[in-house]
Amino acid sequence: MKSKSTYVSIGLVFLVLLIDQSLKIWIKTTMTYNQEHLVLGLDWFRLHFTENPGMAFGMELGGDYGKLALSLFRIVAVGFMVYYIRLLIKQGAHVGLVASISLILAGAVGNILDSAIYGLIFSESHYHEIATIFPEGGGYAKFLHGKVVDMLYFPMYEGNLFGLLGERNFQFFRPVFNIADASITLGVIIILAFQKRFFANMDKKDDANVVDDSNNTETVMTETSNVAIAESEITETTTPEEFDGSDSDDD
């Protein structure tokens, strides 16, 4: 029977991927490049369509080889996280720790899907032309060379910080990101915020295992001692009888 942590992990990964990919596909097929909409009429919360060939929050790792290296690194990282989550569940780790790493896993998979298949199934997005899905001439890039779709934009403040920066303007929060990026960030923040609780639980289990191993060792040693004592008693009881028997034969 699967544990609670298993269902939490699978559910979180599925939910994040569903929301992430649904929003990305909708943005890609309904908005032109660099187009934006206010969310609920809020000036500080916008959907701003952009793409990047590299890392999270619009950062880039240049060139085709850089893009390929990043995609391969993500795949290896995903494989490691799947293994680590299974190990944590097997060890009975705190469900919060399993959930946090599952959020990071879901985010990594979400961006891998963009890199892996978006270049194959979408046409190029332009400033005055919306991309199409499954174009007749094929996609805009080869496998693992697709662009990551970003859209979440929160320009909460823009100004020169009371003149501290001179004539330059400061904007918070400038990066445009996606649900997958947010999932990774949230997972990391939760681990940092609750690491004592998460890993204290694992330390207690390790201590319990050490005690169990110690008890098992003591039990084995006790049983071995008892066997040795019993053999010694048998030897001491048998030896005189043997000598007595041999003496009677001689007589």
pLDDT at 86: 96
- Number of domains comprising the chain: 2
Average pLDDT over residues 177-186: 96
| pLDDT bracket for residue 241 (50, 70, 90) | very low
Residue pair 29/132 in contact by the 8 Å Cβ criterion? yes
Q: State the residue range of the domain holding 33.
A: 4-193
| Domain match, 188 and 211 both | no
Kindly calculate the radius of gyration of the chain based on its CA atoms and give it in whole angstroms: 32
The tens digit of pLDDT for each residue in 72-93 reads 888 999 999 999 999 999 999 9
The yes-or-no answer on residue 20 being catalytic is no
The catalytic position among 20, 43, 64, 181 is 181
Question: How far is it, in rounded angstroms, from Cα 232 to Cα 239?
Answer: 11
**Residue that terminates a domain, selected from 193, 218, 235:** 193
- Coil vs helix vs strand at 52: strand
Average pLDDT over residues 203-211: 54
The yes-or-no answer on residue 64 being catalytic is no
The catalytic position among 43, 64, 150, 212 is 150
CB atoms within 10 A of CB 169: 10
| pLDDT bracket for residue 212 (50, 70, 90) | low
CB atoms within 10 A of CB 90: 11
| pLDDT bracket for residue 123 (50, 70, 90) | very high
For residue 38, is pLDDT > 80?
Answer: yes
| Domain match, 118 and 215 both | no
Q: What percent of the chain has pLDDT over 70?
A: 73
- Coil vs helix vs strand at 47: strand
What does the angle CA 78 – CA 79 – CA 82 come to, to the nearest 5 degrees?
Answer: 85
Burial of 93 (0-12, 13-18, 19+ CB in 10 A): buried
pLDDT at 200: 85
Phi, psi of 242, deg, nearest 5: -65, -40
| Domain match, 90 and 149 both | yes
For residue 58, is pLDDT > 60?
Answer: no
